[in-house]
Amino acid sequence: MSEQIPLKYQPLIERVKAKGSASKAEAIKAFCLQCVDYKYKRVQHCSAKHCALYQVRPYQKKKPILSE
């Protein structure tokens, strides 16, 4: 069965599928979105800490840089 990709994510998925035309960041974003059924809030609050991409997943809030 073919998955339904929301219209807003179709260009991203097409870029990733076209070899050599997507960045690593776009490929990670596409992977994570597919993993959680295209719900970006689920990517942001992902609990799959065993996933190799957990630390670099998109939609994380930026942590402030502490200066010494």
pLDDT tens track for 6-63 = 999 999 999 999 977 779 999 999 999 999 999 989 999 999 999 999 999 998 877 7
- Threshold 0.75, pTM exceeds: yes
CA distances from 14 to 38, 47, 65 (A): 14, 27, 35
Query: Alpha carbon of 33 to those of 39, 41, 48, 62, 68: distances in Å?
Result: 6, 10, 13, 19, 36
Element (H, E) at 41: helix 40-44
Do residues 63 and 55 touch, judged by C-beta distance below 8 A? no
